[in-house]
Amino acid sequence: MARHLRHLRAIAVLGCASVIVLLAGSPASADNPPPLACGTPAMTGPCAQTAHFTNQKGFETPLGTPTNASTCPAWLVNDLPFLDMTGNGVEHVNANKAQDFWATNTFTGTGTLTLYPPSSVDLVFDSQGNIVSATIIGPADTILSGHITDWFGVSANQSSAVIHGTVNVTGTLTDGRQLSVHYTTHASWTPGQTPFVDAPHLSFNKVTC
């Protein structure tokens, strides 16, 4: 269970999923999604926790090469996005006695999404490949100012698991162009597999502009 939640939080600031925003390299803020103890060794199931938050501020990992034919700019999928959003968010984690769990995170707000090429950010990773610090050393490709709505969810037991998320962003780029982005990610594991360890039975990563 604790292993599942570590993977979950690494995947998405789900304390889970706000998508989900990696906080490394950003100023600390009590208003970002807080880590929740439910389902960890400090608070094994049965348990339930809910937290409200007002910020998504920090680096996320790049979207990566989409599995669909996408017309989105290359920098949108390859760059490191830094979110600085203010709005309303809620996260929830629930675990039962068997340590099966589900967690969700949703947020809607306004602000900026700054996209940095990999050459402009000096990253430090931990032993599990998670970003632990990020130092900006070069210019951004662009800044998208506007509105974001995202939702992420994860559930797992000993033999199966599902992670799913959606992100919608609409706004104005630095050069005045309008851009709307829809992103969907999904991964699932079926009985006979080890969730979060084996390759997913089904996975996709779609982005459209």
Query: Residue 209 has what pLDDT?
Result: 93
Report the chain's mean pLDDT, rounded to a whole number: 82
Position 70 scores a pLDDT of 87
Indicate whether 193 pLDDT > 90.
no
pLDDT band at 188 (very low <50, low <70, confident <90, very high): very high
Domain carrying residue 38: 2-208
pLDDT at 1: 31
Higher pLDDT pick, 201 / 2: 201
Long-range contacts of 120-124 (CB under 8 A, 24+ apart): 120/80, 121/25, 121/59, 121/80, 123/80, 124/24
Look at residue 36 in the predicted model and tell me its pLDDT.
Answer: 85
Cis peptide before 35 (omega within 30 of 0): no
H or E element: which one contains 103?
Answer: strand 101-116
Mean pLDDT within 54-81: 88
| Domains held by the chain: number | 1
> pLDDT tens-digit profile of 115-144?
999 999 998 877 766 677 888 999 999 999
The pLDDT confidence band at residue 9, using thresholds 50, 70 and 90, is very low
d(CA 137, CA 115): 13
**Hey, which residues does 83 pair with through a beta bridge?**
58, 113
**181 pLDDT exceeds 90?**
yes
> Which two structure tokens, joined as six digits, stand for 20?
């989900």
Residues 16-47: tens digit of each pLDDT: 333 333 333 333 334 788 888 888 888 888 99
